[in-house]
Every structure is written in structure tokens, then in C-alpha cells.
Chains A and B, each alone.
Chain A
């Protein structure tokens, strides 16, 4: 028995000792350790991006490596978008932050709030010449934090032959009523209506925002009649059988796969599928998403920012190398290369015009990108909370089967919680 007690004491003592030391590093300033993985080594520049689909040796990978500042090599890592910010958080905490990180635009404000990325002035990034609406999400309290090299946006793809069979002119779909009428016609004709992603979280909110903003609603007031109208529009689509019920769990890729079956007349999806649309088995066209009372709805800006994480050791030299790499990827002729390689539209008007002139696929997308609004531009670091509340209201709406009272309650609850 005594032996047991003694072992227990020993264990407790050891536990205490280790815990104390753990607290020392954990609660501390996060310096030291992890030098191997970080930017501490002057010979390597580490580059994290959310494009794991571009593997080593792919054109994107090669492009980055060709931009390595003199005397350095680039170590690139592709990390799924959903994990990138968390990995960056841990890396900065452990003192092993990468030299450059490509962040999805709605999380830049969050990263700035947590002091993960250094501001453009400090690092010497040149943010001039980029479109103001695309630069917006990278500006927090008047300070720029990154370079919005390119953008993508949402549009309304349509199955040209299905519309023709049902006698619908896509050019006539300029408001919600026209769209609903078209959906009614095609479903009455035996086809399916529209696919979109209503999945919980940011992806679903991204897809709902064109309708939300197109109704005249404002993210600062989730309880407004216009906001409720958005919930009703999408809820009614499911209730009427225009949209699949799986929309509540479909992400954008799943929604696109449904459209590719050829059974659906419309698909709300992104410009990143423009090439896939051109390669589809049937003829696919695209129109801007209509606003409620007519005209083009503002869509949220899609795309990423190149940012420079905060460095502890030898920061100045490290920032200079990072800025040089980013400048190489986003200035002059290479801005075109970067965007064409990733399938994005450039965030500078002249380069974008070049892309459109060279590839007619881009033609319908350029005006959509130019009319897009940043999700975090207005709300800054408050955006994630509002987005989460909107996501809950949308999920309730999509499940409500068009029940107007339930939808109104969901949105007013969201407004009250905000």
C-alpha cells in the first residue's frame, strides 16, 4: 500500500514539474522553439497556400519557386483552406511561422485581430493599383495587411439546352420573379430547378450573400424584412421542389456535381468552375445573379490575400525576403501568370482586361468581380460572429419548408443574439 502512495506522489510531483514548465512556454510570449520549421533559416523562404490540389511540380508550384529571392529556396506547403488559419495560429505561437501565407479574404481580419500577420507598411508590400473592392477585406482600421492578387466570384450558370427546350431566354432573368417563373416552368416540364450550397458555415453564407445583398439587406441588421426575404426565397425553392433538399448539406463541389448531371436548369456557383463548365457534356452559359427588384446583385468577393506572418527573429530581413517574393508573384507580367495559373481574375483592371481579351470564358465574369463587395469590409473582425448567426438563420430557413413564421423568427433571433 505504501508503495502505491509513494508512486502516486512521485507521479504527482513529476506532473507538476512538467505542467509548470509547459505553462511557461504555453502562456508565454511564444518565442523560441520551432526554428527548423519557420522562416528563421535565411536560406529558405517558407510559403503556405490553401491550394493542396496544386501539387509539387505543378505550374503553380513552379511559378512560386521561380520567384525565390536571390540566395534562397522556397519551401511551399499546400494546406486545406479550412485548416490554414488554425495552423498559422499554432505556428506563430510556436515561433515557426511561414514567411508568406496566402489567406482566404474573410479570415484576414481575424488573423489581424490575433496579431498573426504584419501590416503592409512594416513589411514593405505594395498594395497600390489593386481594385478597391477587392482590397477592402485586407484593410483593418485603415491599415492594409496584404495583397489581393486575384479574385473569383459567384454567378448563375445555366443549362442552355434545358432553357431552350422550355422556351426561357436567360437574358430575361433579371430579377427574382423572373428566376422563380423560370424555375416553375422547367420543373413543370419535368426537369430540376437549381443547385446551390446551403451547407452550415462560411461556405453557405458566401452562397447566400448575393441574394441577401440583392434583397437590399445589410449584414448589420439580420432581422430586417429584406433579410427575411432572403431566407424565404431559398426556403421556398426547397419547399417547391426547385432545389434539392440536400442543399442543406451540399458544399459547392457537391452542388456543382449535381448540376453536371444535366438534370438541373441553374446552378449558383463560382468562376473557378468556368473551365469545367466549358468542358461539360452540355452547353453551359452564365449570367449575373439577379437582385430582387432587377439588376445585378452584389456578390461577395472570393479569393485570397498574400500576407506576411509576424516574425520574432531577424524580422526585418525576413520581411524583405517575403515582400520580394510577393512582389515577384503579383507585379508586372507575373500577376497575369499567377491568375491564369490559379484560374482567377486579376485584381488589377489592366491585367484583367488582358485576360478577358485573351480568353472569352472570362467575359461574363469581369463585371461580376468588379461589382463584388468584401464580406469583412464593413464589419471587420465582427464579421465571423455575424456570419455564424446568419448561417444558423439560413439553416433553419432551408429546413422550414417555406414556413414564413419560422423563417422570420430565425432571423429576428439571429438579430437579437448579435
Chain B
């Protein structure tokens, strides 16, 4: 950001090379202040809306907050006790495993289906634009609407999903029971995430020159080979960013799960657990600010780890 604002004046300075030295130095100092001035709003924004909440979150997770100390102050410093307590709970590993399954299953299926649809829509046919538009509907609907609709469709006694299964002779499923809840919220979340994958992967495909595929076809490569040897490698940068964004989005999903199950049974993830504790919602009305912050911090660390992994992968690709 700073360097781009600086490049513009440079040719002018070079053009007047005969100017006296002090004038040039003054201008350089002036440029530097200009740069700071240009960057200041961004910096202020980053500090106010990213650094401060992040630091407050960390501070909260190392102090023993309850409703009283939150209001009246005096929360004692407890070091890493809260983290120890959260990680030591029986449910921690279970919730972590559920979060991993929810995230990985969601993005894997979203990506595969999104890619298949993108490839399908690449060949323009009649109504393909309209159809592609229809696939965006899940993205445009408010989650409260789609979540409630999924809950209604998955009703064990009167839902349309079980009615459809009954037509093909399959026994009804108790979709939102404690055991099946994870599977059900994954299904809804996959449906929710397909449009995002479709749009990004489709635009990635548009950027790959059809000439390459044609040339390969002339050399005798079949469609399967062309896809794996040409399309996929060229799509890799787009795939990487799609997967990373999908991962971060999915890790922090609260709304769809909350609307369908309140995070009960196997559908509890780190994000819903943290939300419930932070606001005293769901099963327990006991407010647990510090525990919620600790789980939030753990989530941030996980997301950060994958972000770094992405940067490493990107760098390797550039080399």
C-alpha cells in the first residue's frame, strides 16, 4: 500500500535532477509524511477493529471474568488456567473432532461438487446462464431462512426429506437427533457453500486458455487426461484460495448450526461452543466470558495455522 502511493511522484523527481540537494531531501521527507498520512486511516482501522479486539480477547482469556467482574472490574489474572480448564474438559476433544469433521467434510464436498458444476457450466449451452444463476440462490438467501427451511425439511415425523426417502423405500431418519445432528448440519452447510465454490472455480476455469486443451486434444489426450494434466494444475492457485477461504468460513460457522440444533448433540463445534458460552445461550445460561475467549483464541490459532500453510503452498508454487 505504502509503496504504490510513493511510485507516482518518483518520475517527477527524476525529471528535475538538476534541483539542489536540500530541496530533494525536503521533498523526500515530505513524501514520507505523505505516505504516513495515506496509510494512517488504514492503520487506524486495522488497530481499532483488528488489533484491539484481538488483544482484548486474549486479555479476557487470561483473566477470570464472570458477569460481575465484567461489569464492575476486578477480574483476577489467572494465567493459562482457563485454557487448561477448557482443554481439560471431557467435551473438548469431542468438540474438536466434530469441528474437524464438520469443516473437512463440508469443504471437501463443496469443492468437488462446485468444481464438477463449474466444469459442467463451462460448456455454454442454452439456459446455462440461467441455471448457473439458480445455483446462487443458497448464497442469496438469509441463513435464518435456509436454516429454518432445512430444519423443517429434516423434521423426523413430517419432513419432506423423510417423505422422499419413504417413496424409495428407505426407513425414515431422525435427522436432528443427537447422533445424526452432525451429518445433518454438514448437509445443510454443503448446500450453503456450493455456490461460493462454483463461482470462484468457474471464473478460474474461464481464465484457462481453451487453446491448451485443444492442443492437447490434437496430441491425442483424452478428456480425462486433459482435465487432470492441464485444467487441474492450471487451476491450482484458484483451488488453493477457494479451499483456504472455505476452511476459514466453515471453521467459524455458527448461524446454520445454531438455527438447526442450537449446537446440541454431535453438532457442537468450537465456534458454537464459544458462542453459547459468550452469551449464555443454548443449553447453559451461565455466562462464561473467559472460557469463550479461550475457545475463540484456539479457533484463531487453527485458522492462522492454515493461513500459514496456504502461504507456504503458494510460495512453493511460485518457486
Q: A residues engaging B (CB < 8 A)?
A: 3-4, 7, 10-11, 14-15, 18-19, 22-23, 26-30, 82, 85-86, 89, 92-93, 107, 110, 113-116, 199-202, 244-246, 248-249, 384-385, 387-388, 391-392, 395-396, 399
Contacts and interface: CB of A to CB of B under 8 A. Distances in A.
Contact of B285 (A29, A115, A201): A201
Contacts of B67: 89, 110, 113-114, 116
B176 A249 contact: yes
Contact of B286 (A7, A86, A384, A392): A384
Contact of B2 (A3, A113, A392): A3
A107 B287 CA distance: 12
Contacts of A114: 66-68, 70-72
Contacts of A82: 281
A131 B292 CA distance: 39
Interface string B26-66: 00000000011001000110111001100110010000001
B280 interface: yes
Contact of A246 (B43, B55, B157): B157
B156 A387 contact: no
A297 to B, nearest CB: 23
Given A245-B177, A385-B286, A30 B72 contact: yes
A200 B55 contact: no
Contacts, number: 129
Interface of B: 2-3, 35-36, 39, 43-44, 46-48, 51-52, 55-56, 59, 66-68, 70-73, 75, 151, 155-158, 174, 176-179, 260-262, 264-265, 279-287
A29 B285 CA distance: 25
Nearest to B53: A22
B277 to A, nearest CB: 11
B284 A399 contact: no
17 contacts: A3-B2, A7-B36, A19-B51, A19-B52, A30-B71, A115-B72, A199-B262, A200-B262, A201-B281, A248-B176, A249-B151, A388-B284, A388-B285, A392-B283, A395-B178, A395-B265, A399-B177
Given A86-B279, A388-B286, 13 more contacts: A3-B3, A7-B36, A19-B51, A28-B73, A30-B73, A89-B70, A114-B68, A199-B262, A201-B281, A201-B284, A249-B260, A249-B262, A396-B178
A82 B280 CA distance: 9
Contact of B280 (A14, A86, A115, A395): A86
Listed from nearest, the 8 A-B pairs whose CB atoms lie closest are A388-B284, A114-B67, A245-B156, A399-B178, A15-B51, A114-B68, A200-B283, A93-B71
B39 A113 contact: no
Given A201-B282, A244-B157, A11 B68 contact: no
A15 B282 contact: no
B68 A115 contact: yes
Given A86-B279, A245-B174, A385-B286, A15 B47 contact: yes
Interface centre among B3, B35, B55 (most CB of A within 10 A): B55
A92 B36 CA distance: 39
B47 A18 contact: yes
Contact of A14 (B44, B261, B281, B285): B44
A395 B156 contact: no
A199 B56 CA distance: 33
A168 to B, nearest CB: 23
Contacts of A85: 280
A244 B157 CA distance: 7
A155 B36 CA distance: 68
B73 A29 contact: yes
A236 to B, nearest CB: 16
A27 B70 CA distance: 8
Contact of B264 (A22, A115, A200, A245): A200
A3 B66 CA distance: 43
B55 A19 contact: yes
Contact of B71 (A115, A248, A384): A115
Given A86-B279, A86-B280, A89-B71, A395 B264 contact: yes
A201 B276 CA distance: 10
B70 to A, nearest CB: 7
Contacts of B279: 86
Contact of B284 (A28, A115, A391): A391
Which of B48, B56, B66, B67 has most A Cβ within 10 Å? Answer: B67
Contacts of B46: 11
A77 B178 CA distance: 37
Contacts of B35: 3
